Copies of this chain bind each other. A is one copy, B any other.
Amino acid sequence: MEEQKLTTPAILPGFMELLPKDQMLFNRMMDTIRKTYETFGFIPLDTPTIEKAEVLLAKSGGDTEKQIYRFQKGDNDLALRFDLTVPLARYVSQHMGELTFPFRRYHINKVFRGERPQKGRFREFYQADIDIVGFETLDIVHDAEILSVIYQTFVALGFHRFTIRINNRKVLNGFYEALGIEDKTGVLRILDKLEKIGPENVRKELGTMNLSEETIDKVMRFSEIGGTPEEVVAAVRALGANEQTEVGLSELEAVTKAMREYGVPEENFKIDLTIARGLDYYTGTVYETILNDYPSIGSVCSGGRYDELASHYTKKSLPGVGISIGLTRLFYQLREAGVLEGDKSAPTEVLVLPMTEGRGAALALASKLRESGISTEVYLNGGKMKKQFGYADKLGIPYCIVVGETEVETGRYTLKDMASGNQEMLSEEEIIAQVLQRKAQEAAKKVCGEKP
C-alpha cells in the first residue's frame, strides 16, 4: 500500500456512540418502549430527518433558531428536525385527507440541536414520542390515556417508584389572571425553580417582579398546595376559582377519574400545581414524570395538551395531546446511576465450535437452532479451544457446543453453560428446549433494575 496520512478516527463532542454492551442495553430500552406503545395501538411514523427550513421554523424563534442545524444544498434551504412534534404537525396537515382521526402515532428517532455540549446533554439524541391528534375535537379522556401508556412504559422498563405530576394550564392562567398578574410566563418560570432553589429564593425572585406582598403570599400559598387530587382541587377552589380556573379543575377531575379507571395506582400520579412546562403551545393538561429515587435526573417524560397543533400549516383545528421521552439522555443518566442491567455484548445465545472436519455438521446444527429462533454463531477462525471459549466469554454468549465427529455420529452434543461451567450431553431437541427456556427467563427481566 502507498504511504498516506492517517485521519484520526473520532466523533464530534456532544454526540453519543456506544460500545456493543451498552448498545444492546439501549436497544432493549428502545424496544421495550416501542412494544408498549404498539400494545396501545399507536401507529409507527417515520418522517425525513432533513426538511425544508421554512417548514421546521414556521413557528419557532429564540433558542430553536440558534440551535437548529440549517444549511444550503443547491437552491434548497434545509434543516435537521429539532423535535418530533413539528414534523407531526406538518405530516398531519399535509396528509389530513388520508388519515383516520383521532390519529394516534408514535415516533422514535433522532432529533438534532446544536446546543453547547455539557454533561448529559447531547446534540443528536433519540426521542420516543406518542401523540393523539383529533379532528376539531379530542375528548379529555385521551389526556389520561396518554398517562396510562406512560405508566405502563415505565413499569415495562422495570420502574415502580416513579411519579407522574399533572397540572393544567387553565388552572394556572385563571389563577394568575384573577390575581391581576400580567407576566404569567415570568412568574411560571420562577415557580418552575421551586424544587431547585427552594421557596425562600423563589419568594425573593418574585419580589423583583413588581407584585404586592399580598399577591406574592397568594402565589406562594397556591404553589404549596398538596395532597390527594381531591384535596388539591378543593384547596384551589377554596382560594377562589374564576371561570377559567374552574374549567381547568374540572379537567383535572376528569383526568383523575380516568386514571383510576385505567388502573394507574394512586402512588404513581399526583396533581402538582408548580409544573407549567416551558413550551407556549400547551393549553390544558401538562405532565412531567420523576423517578422517585433519582430526582436529580429531572423529568424523564414530559408533555401535555395543545389545542392547536398545526395552526402554522392549516386553518383546520387539530387539538392534540402527547408526551416525549428523551431517550438518549435518560439512558445516559440511568447508566451513570448504575440502574441498567445486562451483560451481553452480542445477541448470540449459542456459539458452536467446530473441531477439525466438524464444520459441515456445525453449520447444520446452527441452522437447526436458528430455525427454532435461537441466535447462533459458528466460530470459524480455528485456534485453541481456550481462545474459542474466551471469545464466547468476552461477548457474554451463554452457551457453547463443541462439534466433532463423535457428536455427528451419536447425535448428542455437549452443551456448556458458560456462567456455571456445567457441561451436559444432550440431544438437539433437549438443547433447543434448554436454550429457549433460558432465553424466555432473560426476556422477562427488565432492563432497569430498581434498587430495593
Contacts and interface: CB of A to CB of B under 8 A. Distances in A.
A114 interface: yes
Interface stretch (A87-95, A168-176, A182-190, A201-209): A87-95
B313 A9 contact: yes
Interface of A: 1, 4, 6-12, 15-20, 23-24, 26-27, 38-52, 54-55, 58, 69, 71-74, 76, 78, 80, 89-91, 93-95, 98-100, 102, 104-105, 110, 112, 114, 123-124, 134, 137-139, 141-142, 145, 152, 261-263, 308, 310-315, 345-348, 351, 359-360, 363-364, 367, 370, 373-378, 380-382, 391, 394-395, 397
Contacts of A104: 346, 377
A124 B48 contact: yes
Contacts of A142: 380
Nearest to A395: B100
| Copies per assembly | 2
A242 B309 CA distance: 70
A69 B52 contact: no
A346 B43 contact: yes
Contacts of A102: 381
A36 to B, nearest CB: 9
Given A7-B312, A9-B313, 8 more contacts: A9-B90, A11-B52, A11-B55, A12-B48, A17-B47, A41-B377, A100-B345, A263-B367
Contact of A12 (B50, B99, B346): B50
20 contacts: A4-B312, A6-B315, A7-B312, A7-B313, A11-B51, A12-B50, A20-B44, A20-B99, A40-B376, A41-B346, A41-B348, A41-B397, A43-B345, A50-B80, A100-B391, A139-B380, A145-B380, A152-B370, A261-B360, A263-B363
